[in-house]
Amino acid sequence: MSTPARVVVHPDKQVLADLSGARLLVALVDAQAARGEAHVVLTGGSMGSAILASLGASPGRDAVDWGRLHVWWGDERFLPSGDPDRNETQNREALLGSVPLDPRRVHAIPGPDGPDGDDVAAAASRYAAELASAAPDGEPSPTFDVMLLGVGPDGHIASLFPGHPDQLTSGVAAAAVHDSPKPPPTRITLTFETLRRSDRVWFLVAGADKAEAVRNGVHGAEPSASSAAQVQGLQETLWLVDADAASGLH
């Protein structure tokens, strides 16, 4: 089952970040109240870090049991740990480095300094194995409580680019991406199949340059035009956008 998309328009990027951060805090607290732990998938880019910074500034942030939060990433540039262009590095600076996470529950995507060296395919397989190890028996990954996804002007999400040969990779939880149209060219990404294993999928989008991507995503465009349109949440699909990004919907 999947859910139809719902659009929530915010007046500007800062309000979008602040209210999305509050929304994420509540979702994590609710998930932990129901099951004792929560799984969140983070995203990079300016919005991915802005929402975390806003959550971190909230007086309610310690309502989250940070030690029982599993942190995953939707994709990662295949760069060494600590590289400023890695999503993980940016997210740690925004919030993760200042809360008491359990290191065993922080699931960073391996880079070339990992056990597999420069073998990006092996590193992607390693991440897929880590997803499976945190899942119920026989499942390829956990069911994530919240999946955060940025959207590029071309409609890409994670590192799944419309029309790219690696976009429609299936049968694996995580895949290597070669010759990405956006640098750096080598990446690791969750596949569509894994992204869809989420109770809540939230697309975070700001800026007029994203208006066409929002329109295509909300209206269910084909994979050649929109990767975002291919992913819905099991319980909720939200497009959390600012007024500029929503301008193409009118």
Tokens of residue 116, six digits: 């597999």
Q: Would you list the DSSP string of 159-175? A: TB-TT-TTTT--SSSEE
How does residue 88 score in pLDDT terms, banded at 50, 70 and 90?
very high
Residue 53, C-beta contacts closer than 8 angstroms, at least 6 positions apart? 17, 21, 94, 95
Q: CA dist 121 to 71, 78, 82, 112, 175, Å?
A: 22, 11, 21, 11, 7
Return the pLDDT at 132. Answer: 98
Residue 183, C-beta contacts closer than 8 angstroms, at least 6 positions apart? none
Q: What is the pLDDT of residues 229-244, one digit of tens each?
A: 999 999 999 999 999 9
Whether the pLDDT of residue 10 is over 80: the answer is yes
- Orientation of helix 45-57 relative to helix 13-35, angle to 10°: 70
Q: What is the rounded distance in angstroms from the CA atom of residue 76 to the CA atom of residue 128?
A: 13
How does residue 2 score in pLDDT terms, banded at 50, 70 and 90?
confident
Q: What is the pLDDT of residues 96-144, one digit of tens each?
A: 999 999 999 999 999 999 999 999 999 999 999 999 999 999 999 999 9
Tokens of residue 199, six digits: 């109770």
Q: What is the rounded distance in angstroms from the CA atom of residue 155 to the CA atom of residue 175?
A: 19
Return the pLDDT at 25. Answer: 98
pTM of the entire predicted model: 0.97
Residue 203, C-beta contacts closer than 8 angstroms, at least 6 positions apart? 149, 150, 151, 157, 214, 217, 228, 238, 239, 240, 241
Output Rg (C-alpha) for the chain, integer angstroms: 17
- Backbone region of residue 153 per phi and psi (left: phi > 0; alpha: psi in -120 to 50; beta: other values): alpha
Q: What is the rounded distance in angstroms from the CA atom of residue 130 to the CA atom of residue 126?
A: 6
* Cβ(185)–Cβ(222) below 8 Å: no
Question: What is the share, in percent, of the chain residues with pLDDT greater than 70?
Answer: 100
For Cα atoms 161, 126, 102, give the angle at the middle one, nearest 5 degrees. Answer: 100
Whether the pLDDT of residue 180 is over 90: the answer is yes
* Cβ(128)–Cβ(172) below 8 Å: yes
Q: Are strands 38-42 and 5-10 parallel, antiparallel or unpaired?
A: unpaired
Whether the pLDDT of residue 250 is over 90: the answer is no
The DSSP H or E segment spanning 40 is: strand 38-42
How does residue 207 score in pLDDT terms, banded at 50, 70 and 90?
very high
All domains of the chain in start order, with CATH = 5-249 (3.40.50.1360)
Q: What is the pLDDT of residues 139-166, one digit of tens each?
A: 999 999 999 999 999 999 999 999 999 9
**What average pLDDT does the chain have?**
97
Task: Give the bridge partners for 39, in sequence order.
Answer: 70
